[in-house]
Structure 1
Amino acid sequence: MTEGKLCRLRERIESLASDGGEYYLVCGRYGDRPVPADACRFDEPTAARRAATLTEEYRAALREYDPALPQYDIVVRQTPDIGTTASPADTIESAPEDGR
């Protein structure tokens, strides 16, 4: 595994992102925003799901260097409308990072 692989994965994630997208990635268990997609938003749920898969690949590759890197169950969430709060029902898809 090389630094180049991590850079390519990050670039692919960022290419799916948009400035004003309403979808984002989060750990379904802890609520953390997973690096490298922690600041990314996506226009479409399909783009967000693809980014979730790429984020899992990135984190698996990074874990080869840092086995203590937290394992996240990455899910896609939709930003709630103004005046409402997010709930588990806003979750689009869950994909455990460890493949279970």
Structure 2
Amino acid sequence: MPDSLDAIRGRIDRRADESGDFYVACAETDERPAPLTGRRFPTEAAASEAADLARAYREALRESDPELPERRLSVYELTDDPPTLVSTRKRAAGRRDNGLPRTSRSVTLSGDCESEWLRMDNAPLVHVRRDGEPLPDDAVERQLDSKL
């Protein structure tokens, strides 16, 4: 007989460590779906075991909710260096409708991991994470709408 959802969650909790250097997240979205939300793990092996347990948990949950999204779970190591944000603004030709000079703004976000870089020119800058977790799409959409 397969483990209950509570039993699987307990097994994940026993592997977790608040000060751990590893976490498990969706490879496409970096979201940490239940039962992994907020969990960190002391070793890569413990995180890998937790990922396997989370797959079993979500498979069991999918029996009662077939619409539960599929997630490709991967193990990641936390980094000590936060990403660096560099913003530059240059004067451009012409004036805006309100009479102020036109400017061009570039923002570059970089970190020590390959996946931590982004460069935007003349685009609105919005927050996409809070407390280490990605913001829901609707929250990002509201921020973008407010920039218009």
**What TM-score, normalized to structure 1?**
0.79
Asked whether 1:71 is paired with 2:70, we answer yes
- Larger Cα Rg: Structure 1 or Structure 2? 2
Q: Please, which runs of 5 or more residues in structure 1 have no aligned partner? A: 89-100
Amino acid at match of 1:30: T
Higher strand share: 2
What count of residue pairs does the alignment treat as equivalent?
Answer: 88
**What TM-score, normalized to structure 2?**
0.55
Displacement of 1:81 = 2.0
Give the corresponding residue for 2:59.
60
Relative contact order, CA 8 A, sep 6+: which one is greater? Answer: 1
Displacement of 1:34 = 1.7
Amino acid at match of 1:29: E
Displacement of 1:83 = 3.9
Helix, strand or coil at the partner of 1:64 = helix
Give the corresponding residue for 2:22.
23
Q: Please, which runs of 5 or more residues in structure 2 have no aligned partner? A: 84-110, 116-148
Higher helix share: 1
